[in-house]
Copies of this chain bind each other. A is one copy, B any other.
Amino acid sequence: MLKTTAKFYSEIRVRYQETDKMGVAYHGNYLTWFEFARVDMLDQLGIPYIKMEEQGFMLPVIEANARYLLPCYFDDRLKIETMIKKEPRVKIQVNYNIYRADEKVCQGHTVHAFIDQNRKICKPPEQFSDALKNLFKDN
């Protein structure tokens, strides 16, 4: 199976709404940040997620995983590193590392399936496969 070390970067800033009474960012919000970074990665790959949905494809999350290494706080500027390490077939796995300056604060991954307008599992749209082929060829 082809592998790549290509990495993509996105930035977010922790909102007050995202904190909880423990004084830290609520753990569930990291999945929203993963989503934000995933969408941003697809933009950078030239296959915006919004275009895929317009063409009738959706990429629902079928598995999500996060390990919280250090707490994050209101107003923290975080950098999210996003990777697709293995060439996807039916499922696609996206990996994430979240950094605050040099500290890694969280790592995780999500697994996705492609579904079509009838909500049936399908192959990725050609444009998506082509963009990823380039990604894996480059490495």
User: How many interface residues does A have (CB within 8 Å)?
Assistant: 35
Q: What sequence of 0s and 1s flags, for each residue 92-125 of chain A, a beta carbon within 8 Å of any chain B beta carbon?
A: 0000000000000000000000000000000000
**Chain B residues with CB under 8 A of A62:** 67-68
**Chain B residues with CB under 8 A of A29:** 28
User: This chain: how many copies in the complex?
Assistant: 4
**In contact, A20 and B22 (Cβ under 8 angstroms):** no
Q: For the complex formed, measure the closest distance between the CB of A101 and the CB atoms of chain B, giving whole angstroms.
A: 16
Main secondary structure of the interface of A (DSSP, over half): mixed
**In contact, A15 and B36 (Cβ under 8 angstroms):** yes
- A residues near B (Cβ < 8 Å) are 15-17, 19-24, 26-29, 31-32, 35-36, 39, 48-50, 53, 58, 60-68, 71, 74-75
